[in-house]
Amino acid sequence: MELINNQRVVAYLRVSSEDQQERETIENQVEFATKYADLHKLEIVDWYKDDGVTGTIPLDARPDGNRLIEDAKAGKIDLVLIFNMKRLGRKARVTLDAVYQLEKYGVKIKSMTEPFDTGDPVGRFIITVLAGQAELDRDTTLEVLWHGANRAARKGKWLGGIVPYGYRVNDEGYLEINEDPLPGKEDMSEAGVIRLIYDLIANQKWTTPKVADYLNALHIPTSYSKDDRKVKKGKRKESTAGIWRPGRIRNMVINETYKGIHYYGKRTNKQRELIPRIVPAIVTVDVWDKAQQVLKENQIEAFRNAKRQYLLRSLIRCGTCGLTYHGTAYPDRKTKVKAYYICGGKTSYRGPYQGKCTSKNLPAEWLEERIWESCVSFIENPGEAMQELAATMQVQISKKEDFETEKSLIMKAIQDKDNEKQNILDLFRRKVIGSSDVELQFQKIEQEKLALQQRAREISEKIDEETDLADKFNSLQQLLTGLRDKLHGDMSFEVRREIVKTLVKEIEVHTEFSSGERKKPTASITTHYNFQG
């Protein structure tokens, strides 16, 4: 790098997708930085551009941000020019961490549009304030957008995301039924495929694997293959196989959108209000309900027709990928079929490992015998668990009183929120505030009220738990008496299954590999019981 005025100057530029929509593009920042450097007689010797990258992730997690840090670490940079503080980060923690990472390698940071640099104590103080302001601006913007999105959702508008198969979004932003012919299938539309799926399941009682095979035989394109959409695998996006799978068929059949109702906000991980909205129905409510019943009946029939009944079905969870183990059978070296429990993440169409879960298969007979013996031992010798449960009762009584006090305070706060609404309406009638202010304040009050109501429900559940503790202790004694009677009665599979489901909450399997050359996996089993103290 060349030395200009004894400083090696670079520029770090970043825009996110939201910034691009507001015309704050990388090109604008390049143009501004070039003019700034000319004005101050500086030469920018390298450019670091993160285009379309969010400012909420750390600097070293961004492509050019990481390159910037590596070059700073190598001693190639003296001064970094940024357009403004928001370019470093949209969260205070991210911004200040970026400053720290660069400064520890002797690099100074200067904003081209704000009166500070990190070369003096005042500048470092200002950067802390601006970082907090940037986060406040982002949070405020998100809140405004969130309220606006909720208003649009209540009106029935589609606000982005993957449009359900069988629908499209019209010019006004609303869902409508898609009757356009499919590519290569002029006599079939997406909506027609949906009606066919529901007819095969609801009226002809087909299973989801049979429906998937039928659609694949007809070469009906899936949504991903029709729209040439890709799925993300690691850091890459790849095309899908373009085939119908039983799980996909089931998800479509249980989707309430097809009977005319869609819940906005259901897919987000954040706590937010679910907004029901009416959309055009592709099938009738009766057909939709009938399909749900057939799905349940098919599941029951599948269990009934199984060659082997698995005692621990649905109770085993994989500690590697988090999916549930299921039963299957393989022939051993002597061609004798042997039953195993295997992780669902090993199948080709399930799990975050995409068929590559490394968990160990468990011999069904060995595991079932081990769990059954522990259940029998618990039923016949429950003393220690009973003592632990009894010891916790006195502690829980004081907790119940605290919960009841908190709940009374919350209920009063909820009532006060209604009074706040009335006060705002009074201000509106006196023309102190406008209608937009009323709407904004009502939204804030409603949000606060929902949070209080949620907390009140949580406390009510905790109060119920504490109230039922003594009853639970008594019911455990009664339960154990009943289970002892069953142990000496008809020990059919159904009875054993009932006993196991009553006592066992979850069986967790952790797979470990040895450090030797063969790296043979070993499994450790942790059993969680419903009546542990």
> Element (H or E) spanning 31, and its range?
helix 26-39
- Start-end ranges of CATH 3.40.50.1390 in the chain? 9-151
* 184: CB partners within 8 A, 6+ apart: 219, 221
How would you label 2-34 residue by residue, b for 16+ Cβ within 10 Å and e otherwise? Answer: eebeeebbbbbbbbbebbeeeebebeebbebbe
Helix or strand or coil: residue 237? Answer: strand
Phi, psi for 508 (deg, rounded to 5)? -105, 130
49 bridge partner residues? 13
pLDDT for res 3: 42
Tell me the pLDDT tens digit for each residue of 366-385.
Answer: 999 999 998 888 888 876 66
Query: In terms of C-beta density within 10 A (0-12 exposed, 13-18 middle, 19 or more buried), how is residue 123 classed?
Result: middle
* Structure tokens belonging to residue 100: 């720290």
* Structure tokens belonging to residue 99: 């400053």
pLDDT for res 191: 93
Architecture of the domain spanning 9-151: 3-Layer(aba) Sandwich (3.40)
- Start-end ranges of CATH 3.90.1750.20 in the chain? 167-300
509 bridge partner residues? 318, 525
Task: Report the sign of the C-alpha dihedral through residues 493, 496, 500, 501, in that order.
Answer: positive
| Region of residue 108 (phi > 0: left; psi between -120 and 50: alpha; otherwise: beta) | beta
pLDDT for res 126: 64
Residue with tokens 């590697």: 320
What is the fold of 167-300?
Hect, E3 ligase catalytic domain fold (3.90.1750)
Residue with tokens 């419903």: 530
Tell me the pLDDT tens digit for each residue of 424-466.
Answer: 888 888 887 887 777 778 877 887 787 788 778 878 877 776 6
Which residues are identified as catalytic? 16
Q: Could you tell me the pTM of the whole model?
A: 0.42
CB neighbours of residue 271 within 10 Å: 9
pLDDT for res 151: 66
pLDDT 10s per residue in the chain (533 long)?
344 456 899 999 998 865 554 556 888 899 999 999 999 889 999 999 998 888 888 898 999 999 999 999 999 999 999 988 788 887 777 878 888 888 888 888 888 887 766 656 666 666 666 656 666 665 565 555 555 556 666 666 776 677 889 999 888 888 899 999 988 788 889 999 999 999 999 999 898 988 988 888 888 888 766 655 554 444 444 445 578 888 889 999 999 989 988 877 665 555 556 677 788 899 999 999 999 999 988 876 666 666 778 889 889 999 888 888 888 888 766 667 789 999 887 765 444 444 568 888 999 999 999 999 988 888 888 766 666 555 555 555 566 777 788 888 888 888 888 888 888 888 888 887 887 777 778 877 887 787 788 778 878 877 776 665 555 555 667 777 778 888 877 678 888 888 888 888 899 999 887 765 556 788 899 988 876 54
